[in-house]
């Protein structure tokens, strides 16, 4: 059937058509207003023609498009919400620094602190986790915990073994290198001579390399190996005099001028100042004047430069305590091993009748104990 007859037939059936255009001899395009195109398609096929929907417009099409977009937006919103929720929770635990300790031992202590996979990051006290690790595992010299995104990062460091790790088989024992209280003792080779909690003196035997069985006539000696940690008490004291050489004003002074003006570069300025003949001096500014130079205002500062010379000067109490703390800190750093963990520290100051100050620093540490002595 010719396309024109098909159009007339559709119009006769009450199907509204407009904007009718011929594409070629066998094809005609038209616009119809209907909510359902199936009757038009069926009628066309019944008379030997073929109908094809090229484009759909109107409210139903808009609603279907909005529905599909709404589903996409809903999925995106749900996914984003899930990511936001999960980003504020602990999903992984990363442990680094283990040597002799197993990660499972670290995880056991972490679990005792109430840390669980999936818990909110805000409820996790990282400082408490680090303190619990140090208290529960005496072989740790350092522990740090912190949240990085969804990962709980735990970094630990262990005390080095008290015994030599060299392949040396010469018989020896391990002895205390300082007075301390034993916190843990593990004898890998040899027999532990003391127990946890024992107070030992410097030079006392800790791990015995003599493992001769009871009743044996032949002595059996081994190269002792083991790890010992102990609590050590240190005491440092210094005396600070009531005077000390300090830079003081000599009474000589001269005029001082400084000129400052900004540049075109943000935050940058150029400064010029008058020459001062003294080797050491301090400036006291007395006035500031701004000169209007258009876009770049110039500031002129005026004052005096006071000569400084070295002279004995009475120290204030705060200056004496600051000097004492500096000396005590230097002594502590030179005496205490770098891998020692300080667990307590206190300083006492005693003012003498002659004006001098005595400062006493008491420090308690947990550190590796022991030295090797060959038989």
pLDDT at 266 over 70: no
Q: For the chain, first and last CA: distance in Å? A: 119
Q: Which two tokens stand for residue 93?
A: 């635990």
At residue 178, the pLDDT reads: 94
pTM greater than 0.95: no
Taking only Cα atoms into account, the Rg of the chain, rounded to an integer number of angstroms, comes to 44
At residue 99, the pLDDT reads: 75
The beta strand positions in 109-224, using DSSP E, are 140-148, 151-158, 172-175, 180-189, 191-192, 199-200, 205-208
pLDDT at 375 over 50: yes
Q: Which residue has the higher pLDDT, 330 or 135?
A: 330
Computed over every residue of the chain, the mean pLDDT equals 84
Residue 10 Cα to chain centre, angstroms:
77
**Contact yes or no for 196/145 (Cβ under 8 A):** no
Q: What is the DSSP letter of 122?
A: G
Least confident of 8-12, 297-301, 338-342: 8-12
pLDDT at 255 over 90: yes
**Dihedral over alpha carbons 29, 32, 35, 37 (to 10 degrees):** -40
Least confident of 38-47, 161-170, 209-218, 306-315: 161-170
Report CA-CA distances (Å) from 268 to 181, 261, 262. Answer: 60, 9, 6
Report CA-CA distances (Å) from 154 to 82, 144, 233. Answer: 26, 6, 29
Q: Which residue has the higher pLDDT, 33 or 268?
A: 268
Q: What's the pLDDT band for 75 if we cut at 50, 70, 90? A: confident
pLDDT at 66 over 90: no
**Contact yes or no for 238/331 (Cβ under 8 A):** yes
Mean pLDDT for 135-164 is 78
At residue 327, the pLDDT reads: 95
In angstroms, rounded to a whole number, what is the distance separating the alpha carbons of residues 254 and 274?
A: 10
pLDDT at 39 over 90: no
pLDDT in tens, 88-146: 888 899 998 887 788 888 999 999 988 989 899 888 898 899 889 988 887 787 888 88
Q: Which residues pair with 210 in a beta bridge?
A: 221
pLDDT at 258 over 50: yes
At residue 293, the pLDDT reads: 60
At residue 164, the pLDDT reads: 45
Of 278, 288, 236, residue with least CA distance to 258: 288
Q: Which residue has the higher pLDDT, 166 or 288?
A: 288
């Amino acid at each position: 059937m010719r396309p024109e007859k098909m159009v007339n037939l559709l119009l006769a059936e009450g199907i509204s058509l407009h904007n009718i255009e011929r594409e070629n001899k066998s094809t005609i395009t038209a616009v119809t207003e209907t909510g359902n195109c199936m009757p038009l398609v069926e009628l066309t096929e019944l008379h030997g023609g073929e109908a094809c929907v090229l484009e759909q417009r109107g409210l139903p099409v808009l609603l279907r498009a909005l529905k599909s977009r709404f589903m996409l937006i809903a999925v995106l919103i749900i996914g984003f919400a899930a990511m936001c929720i999960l980003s504020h929770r602990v999903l992984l635990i990363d442990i680094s620094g283990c040597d002799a300790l197993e990660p499972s031992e670290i995880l056991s202590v972490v679990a005792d602190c109430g840390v669980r996979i999936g818990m909110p990051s805000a409820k996790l006290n990282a400082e408490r986790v680090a303190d619990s690790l140090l208290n529960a595992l005496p072989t740790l010299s350092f522990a740090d915990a912190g949240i990085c995104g969804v990962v709980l990062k735990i970094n630990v460091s262990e005390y080095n073994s008290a015994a030599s790790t060299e392949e040396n088989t010469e018989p020896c024992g391990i002895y205390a290198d300082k007075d301390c209280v034993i916190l843990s003792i593990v004898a890998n080779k040899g027999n532990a001579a003391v127990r946890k909690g024992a107070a030992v003196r410097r030079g006392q035997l800790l791990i015995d390399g003599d493992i001769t069985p009871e009743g044996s006539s032949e002595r059996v000696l081994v190269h002792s190996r083991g790890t010992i940690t102990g609590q050590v008490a240190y005491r440092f004291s210094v005396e600070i005099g009531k005077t000390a050489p300090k830079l003081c004003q000599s009474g000589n002074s001269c005029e001082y001028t400084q000129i400052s003006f900004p540049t075109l570069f943000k935050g940058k300025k150029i400064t010029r100042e008058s020459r001062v003949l003294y080797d050491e001096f301090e400036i006291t500014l007395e006035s500031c004047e701004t000169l209007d130079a258009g876009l770049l205002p110039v500031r002129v500062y005026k004052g005096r430069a006071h000569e400084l010379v070295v002279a004995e000067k009475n120290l204030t109490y705060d200056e004496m305590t600051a000097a004492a703390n500096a000396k005590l800190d230097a002594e502590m750093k030179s005496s205490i091993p770098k891998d020692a963990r300080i667990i307590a520290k206190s300083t006492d100051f005693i003012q003498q009748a002659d004006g001098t100050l005595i400062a006493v620093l008491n420090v308690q540490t947990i550190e590796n104990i022991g030295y090797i002595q060959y038989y």
